[in-house]
Every structure is written in structure tokens, then in C-alpha cells.
Amino acid sequence: MLKMIIKNEQNIDIDFENTIIFFDEVQESEEIISSLKYFNESEVPYKIICAGSLLGVKLKRMVKAFPVGKVDMINMNPMDFEEFLTETMGQEIIETLKEHYKTNTPIVDIMHNELLSLYRLYLCVGGMPSAINNILSVDKDILKYNKKILKNIISGYLNDMKKYVKDATETVRIEHIYRSIPTQIGNKSNKFQYSKVRSGARSKNYETALQWLLSSKLVNRVCLLKTPQIPPEAFKNEEVFKLYMSDVGILNSILNIDFDNIILDKEFIYKGDIAENYVLQQLNMNFENIYYWKNNNTAEVDFIVQNNDGLIPIEVKAGDTIKSKSLNMYMKQYKPKYGIRLCTKNFGFANGIKTIPLYATFLIK
């Protein structure tokens, strides 16, 4: 049938065994999505690739049946810092960083400082491909960088919030949550609060809007792990969580941060929060589930991940401080194999804590 349609419409005789068929903006057609089952089960060796935006939202709200088990799903995230480094410095620097990460030995100072400069540049630009392309096209000169690129992406996001919604009220609530995230990140309570979204707002009224944002991958959620035990999914508190922007460049664009503050490593409001959002963005590339820990007092560990070494606590410092009161408290109480401190200091290891420069966050697997 497909061969006949292509023959009639395009006057092309397709050799399906050596042809890739690409459906773009596939979210616009439930019929095409449902037909993927037919392509998968057909004796004809079809090779199908589909791409689309807001697919996570669309698939959750499909009327027709989704071909479960017939489709391999891949989420496309903003470029992480590893990809940015590969583009700017080549693969060799990645291999060098892997060796220093493994041995906990400092990298030479001149290289360490150059990598910190690239890290700060990435904080400004983020990982959206068009933003990366622009900063590279002006030879990494932040003064020539086109800030409108991310502004236009944000405007596109806000327009997309009108798609695949139940009604206009849901659209408004989705936008309210999204616009509140910068305020939520700087919230002293260190957790998402519906009262910061709208005065008098309640979770039951915004639950669907929040799920829309999570499905769209425009935001990332990190739940509280009250009791760090394996499996952590059984001990997380879904009612207490933090939200982060999907891209640190977009966060900075919404906050209208002066790039001089970042590039020159000045002290400013949100400095720590921006670093934390960056770290979460990098961890998301390697971990499906990420948590944070907080005790009944004031101690809090920014992130907890699970790897072959167990549950590993991660503390984020925007500068070169090595004071880690909360991390030390966590380690004393739960005795993980080691802890991780992310900061601007060089690689090292002492007192059970692995110090990793922020630019090497992507190496945490």
C-alpha cells in the first residue's frame, strides 16, 4: 500500500530494504503513530524513523491505540557539556578527563582554568543546538552571542502550551507553573510550592498541568528521598520535590542574568541555583532517576544517584569552597561508599569525598 502511494504521489519506485522512511512532526497524526505496528509486523523490511515535538504529551493523550512494544523510543535532550567540549576541544580532552576522574589526580592548572572558562560559557548559552551553533559561529565571543535565540525558543514553548490541552484553563495553569520555576528554584524552602505558582493555588488544580510539563520534557523533577535505601524508588516522596528547567541557558534567559556575572565568576543571586540546574541537566543524561535528601533540620544533599557503588550523594558548590556540612552529615549517618563534591576546584579525593570540577559532571555514570 505504501509503495503504491509513493509511486502515485512521487513517481518513485521504492526499494524498502535500502530506504529509510522519515516521518517528521509525527505528533500531528495519530494514524501514522498507530500504523507503526503494521510497519513493524510487515514482511516488508520497512525502516521507519519518526520525529516530533511534545511527543510525550501527545502519546499520553492519544485516542487511538499506541503500538506498545513495536517502537523504540529515544528522547532528544539539549546538548550536554560533554558534547559541547567535544565540539570545541575534540575527543582527546574527554579521554583526558576520564583518566583524571578515575585516578582522582588534578589536571594541569592551565587546562583546568580553560575548562572552567568553557563551563561558564556553557552556563550562559546552554545546550540548545541553535544557541550552540550561534556561539561557535562567533568564535565563542559572548559579546557577539545572539540572546534572541533562546528568547524565541521560550516564546515557542509558550505557544506549544496551547497544544494537546483539555481547555484554555489548563493552558493558563501550564504557563503559570513554567513561569514560576525561576522563583521556585530560589525558594528558601528548597522544594516546589504551589503557592509560588499562584496565590491560593492547590496541587489538585495544577496536577494535570504539571504532568503536561513533565511529559513535554520542558522541566525536570527531583523527588525527596527521605530514607536513602535501595531500591530508592520505593522510598521517595512524590509529594515533596524540586523542579528544574530542562536547559540552563533557558533558565538564564528567563532570569535575564547579566553574562558578565557568570563569565567573570562574580557573586550574585541565583549563582548556586544556576550551577545546580546545570548539574541536574548533566546527570539526566546518565541517570533515569535522581533524588535529593533532606533531614528534619537544615541538612540537605542536592542530589542522590544510584550506580554500581550504591546510592551516591552529590553536593553542588558554585565556587571553590570545600565546606560540606550536609554531605558530611549524610555520610556519617548512611555510610555510602563515597560522596561527590562538585565545585570549581580540581580533581581530588579526601575523607571519603571525591572532588570533581563542575565541568566534569558528565563523567558521573
**163: in domain:** yes
Same domain, 186 and 304: yes
Q: 89 is written with which cell numbers?
A: 576541544
pLDDT digits (tens, 9 = 90+) for 354-363: 999 999 999 9
pLDDT of residue 65 exceeding 80, the answer is no
Q: Tell me which residue of 289, 269, 293 sits closest to 280, measured CA to CA.
A: 289
Could you tell me if 365 and 307 are in contact, meaning their C-beta atoms sit under 8 angstroms apart?
yes
**129: in domain:** no
pLDDT of residue 7 exceeding 60, the answer is no
Confidence class for position 6, pLDDT limits 50, 70, 90? low
**11: in domain:** yes
Query: Cα Rg for the chain, rounded, in angstroms?
Result: 23
Report helix, strand and coil shares of the chain as percent, to nearest 5: 50, 15, 35
pLDDT of residue 140: 96
Specify the range with the lowest mean pLDDT, choosing from 101-105, 255-259, 293-297.
293-297
Percentage of the residues of the chain whose pLDDT score is greater than 90: 61
pLDDT of residue 8: 58
Cα–Cα distance between 199 and 201 in angstroms, integer?
Answer: 6
Same domain, 223 and 342: yes
Average the pLDDT over 148-159 and give the result: 92
Q: Say how many C-beta atoms besides its own lie within 10 A of residue 293's C-beta.
A: 23
80 or 42, which is more confident? 80
Specify the range with the lowest mean pLDDT, choosing from 113-117, 205-209, 341-345.
205-209
Could you tell me if 89 and 117 are in contact, meaning their C-beta atoms sit under 8 angstroms apart?
no
- Residue spans of alpha helices (H) in 11-54: 30-41
Structurally, the chain folds into a number of domains equal to 2
Could you tell me if 186 and 272 are in contact, meaning their C-beta atoms sit under 8 angstroms apart?
no
Average the pLDDT over 243-250 and give the result: 95
Q: Say how many C-beta atoms besides its own lie within 10 A of residue 299's C-beta.
A: 15
Average the pLDDT over 57-63 and give the result: 73
**246: in domain:** yes
Q: 360 is written with which cell numbers?
A: 566534569
**73: in domain:** no
Confidence class for position 45, pLDDT limits 50, 70, 90? confident
pTM of the shown model: 0.90
Last residue of a domain, one of 24, 45, 60: 60
Last residue of a domain, one of 11, 28, 60: 60
**240: in domain:** yes
72 or 188, which is more confident? 72
Average the pLDDT over 131-138 and give the result: 96
- Residues shown for the chain: 365
Same domain, 320 and 213: yes
Helices 129-137, 109-125: inter-axial angle, 10-degree rounding: 120
Last residue of a domain, one of 60, 81, 104: 60
- What sign does the CA torsion over 174, 25, 68, 280 have? negative
Average the pLDDT over 218-233 and give the result: 94
Same domain, 249 and 347: yes
pLDDT of residue 200: 78
Same domain, 230 and 334: yes
pLDDT digits (tens, 9 = 90+) for 170-207: 899 999 999 898 888 877 677 898 888 888 788 888 98
Q: Which amino acid is at 71?
A: V
Helix (H), strand (E) at residue 2 = helix 2-10
Same domain, 159 and 40: no
Could you tell me if 210 and 193 are in contact, meaning their C-beta atoms sit under 8 angstroms apart?
no
Average the pLDDT over 222-233 and give the result: 94
**174: in domain:** yes
Q: Residue 17's domain spans which residues?
A: 2-60
289 or 199, which is more confident? 289
Same domain, 350 and 214: yes
Same domain, 176 and 28: no
**106: in domain:** no
Same domain, 55 and 162: no
Residue 31 has what DSSP assignment?
H
Confidence class for position 3, pLDDT limits 50, 70, 90? low
pLDDT of residue 267: 93
Specify the range with the lowest mean pLDDT, choosing from 87-101, 121-135, 272-286, 289-303.
289-303
pLDDT of residue 5: 62
